[in-house]
């Protein structure tokens, strides 16, 4: 089983996530890197530009958007943060501030013993299919404890990027 940490950052109270000590945005960068490189993206001018883009393609979810974080992250999200065709829930939003612009979705399944995140997906890139990330299975008591004991950072804790080509996560 994995370990999860929830945190908030900035005055906007963006909700971020770490899985096994690694920011979820790093996991997402690792799995989307080859997908972006195949697309001949305009963000690939230099390796440094590519890495900066990859690590900042997502931001945390605004607390005002998810309304009740404990319910949201246990799979009981509001309809406007749920992907209707798949039932997946946004766990990261776009770095532009409009979460729908570039959300990271996952299916959240909660049982009495565990909370599972599976079928990660970027809905604006259907050809990518399910991302090669997860499933992540968390013990429910520890998961609920992490939700109840979030840490707040004044700034985004993902400010230092690994050097290009570094192995970063998953």
* Angle 30-34-38 from CA coordinates, rounded to 5°: 155
CA dist 100 → 36, 59, 62, 81, 159 (Å): 19, 11, 12, 8, 23
Placement of tokens 């599976």 in the chain: 118
* pLDDT tens per residue, range 30-44: 999 999 888 876 666
* pLDDT tens per residue, range 78-112: 988 999 888 999 999 999 888 899 999 999 999 99
Give the percent of the chain with pLDDT over 90.
68
Radius of gyration of the chain measured on its C-alpha atoms: 15
| 98-102, 120-124, 166-170, range with the lowest pLDDT | 166-170
Quick one: 163 exposed, middle or buried, by C-beta within 10 A (0-12, 13-18, 19+)?
A: exposed
CA dist 48 → 42, 60, 66, 135 (Å): 13, 22, 32, 29
* Calpha distance 169→17 (Å, rounded): 14
pLDDT at residue 170 in the model: 43
């Amino acid at each position: 089983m994995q370990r999860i940490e929830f945190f908030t950052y900035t005055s906007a109270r963006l909700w971020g996530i770490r899985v096994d000590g690694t920011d979820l945005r790093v996991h997402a960068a690792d799995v989307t890197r080859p997908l972006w490189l195949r697309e001949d993206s305009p963000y690939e001018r230099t390796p440094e530009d590519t890495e900066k883009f990859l690590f900042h393609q997502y931001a945390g979810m605004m607390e005002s958007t998810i309304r009740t974080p404990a319910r949201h992250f246990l799979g009981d999200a509001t309809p406007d943060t749920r992907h209707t065709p798949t039932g997946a829930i946004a766990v990261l939003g776009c770095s532009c501030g409009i979460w729908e612009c570039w959300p990271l979705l996952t299916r959240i399944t909660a049982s009495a013993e565990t909370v599972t995140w599976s079928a990660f997906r970027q809905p604006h890139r259907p050809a990518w299919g399910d991302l090669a990330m997860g499933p992540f299975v968390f013990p429910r008591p520890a998961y609920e404890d992490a939700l109840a004991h979030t840490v707040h950072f004044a700034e985004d804790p993902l400010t230092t990027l690994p050097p290009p080509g570094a192995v970063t996560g998953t």
